[in-house]
Structure formats: C-alpha cells, structure tokens
C-alpha cells in the first residue's frame, strides 16, 4: 500500500512540475513581449540587461549591429515618436525562436534617428525574428517599410 501511495505522489508531482511551468516557447514569447510593451512602448531601457544578451547581434539588411547601436536606434524612435505604441498582432514560437508581426503607431513630435519633428502621425507594420539563448535575446532580424513612414510624415513623396 505504501508503494502505491509513493508512486501516486511522485506521479502527481511530476504532472504538477510539467504543467505548472510555462514551456520554453511561452517563456521566450514573454521575453520578446517585454521588448514591445516595456522597452519600445514605455521607454524602459533600464530593462535591457535582463532581456538582451551582452553579445546580442541585430542582423540588418545591409549590416549587423551590436546591442549599443540597436538600443541607440530604439531610443531614436522613442525620441522621434514620444507617444510610440508598439503592439503585437501575431506571434509564433518554436524552440529558441520567436517571430512577431507587429504594428507601431505614433506622432512625430520629437527628433531622433535623423527625423525632424513634423507633428504628423505614422502607422507601420513589420516583422521580427528573435533568437533566444539562455533566457535572453541573442539575435534579431527585423523588416519594416521605412519608406512608408517617411511618406506618412511628408518627408518623401507618395507613389502616384
């Protein structure tokens, strides 16, 4: 009788341990959500060390940049769009990778990233892929239309 009780108790603990914790994909999605909700939308750059690996690489279309340059760019967007609101429209996680379809909205009332204040609103969408290792973002690939943003701000002519 004691063996059955011990076996049942161990089985219950194993089930609780398995189902009581979020899986790795869910943990990785939560890390990525903090980028959009806390850092980009609220400007909480002090959270960077807990979210990004020190050797983080952002793989750009023409060159790769490290964490300092990537954060400078993010700070530039926040400066140019003080009311920047980033929302996640779709997210997919598999293993150590999280892909996010996101939307950014804001009013260009500040200067940053080479933009002068226009007072106009911009609304754009992009897609980012994040690689998470050891609980931190190690790599990122992002694509969005900078041309669309410039057109909305009146800094580039819209197509005819």
Residue 160's pLDDT is what?
A: 82
Q: What is the pLDDT of residue 62?
A: 93
| Residue 112 forms part of a structural domain | yes
Encode the chain in three state secondary structure.
CHHHHHHHHHHHHHHHHHHHCCCHHHHHHHHHHHHHHHHHCCCCHHHHHHHEEEEEEEECCCCEEEHHHHHHHHHHHHHHCCCCEEEEEEEEEECCEEEEEEEEEEECCCCECCECCCCCEEEEEEEEEEEEECCEEEEEEEEECHHHHHHHCCCCCCCC
Specify the number of domains making up the chain.
Answer: 1
Q: Confirm whether 31 is domain-assigned.
A: yes
Query: Residue 41: inside a domain, yes or no?
Result: yes
Residue 94 lies in a domain: yes
The range of the structural domain enclosing residue 128 comes to 23-152
CATH number at residue 116: 3.10.450.50
Residue 10 lies in a domain: no
Q: Give average pLDDT by consecutive 10-residue segment, the chain, 160 residues.
A: 58 55 90 98 98 98 96 98 98 97 98 96 98 98 96 92
pLDDT at 159: 82
- What is the value of pTM for the model shown? 0.85
Whether 17 is in a domain gets the answer no
Does a structural domain hold residue 61? yes
């Amino acid at each position: 009788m004691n063996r059955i009780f011990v076996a049942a108790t161990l089985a219950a603990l194993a089930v609780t341990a398995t189902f009581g914790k979020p899986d790795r994909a869910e943990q990785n999605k939560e890390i990525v959500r903090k980028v959009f909700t806390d850092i980009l939308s609220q400007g909480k750059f002090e959270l960077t060390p807990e979210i990004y690996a020190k050797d983080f690489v952002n793989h750009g279309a023409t060159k790769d940049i490290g964490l300092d340059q990537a954060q400078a760019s993010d700070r530039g967007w926040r400066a140019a769009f003080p009311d920047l609101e980033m929302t996640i429209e779709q997210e997919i996680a598999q293993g150590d990778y999280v892909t996010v379809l996101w939307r950014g909205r804001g009013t260009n009332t500040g200067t940053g990233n080479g933009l002068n204040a226009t007072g106009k609103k911009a609304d754009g969408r992009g897609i980012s892929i994040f690689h998470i290792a050891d609980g931190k973002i190690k790599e990122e690939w992002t694509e969005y239309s900078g041309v669309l943003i410039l057109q909305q701000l009146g800094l580039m002519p819209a197509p005819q």
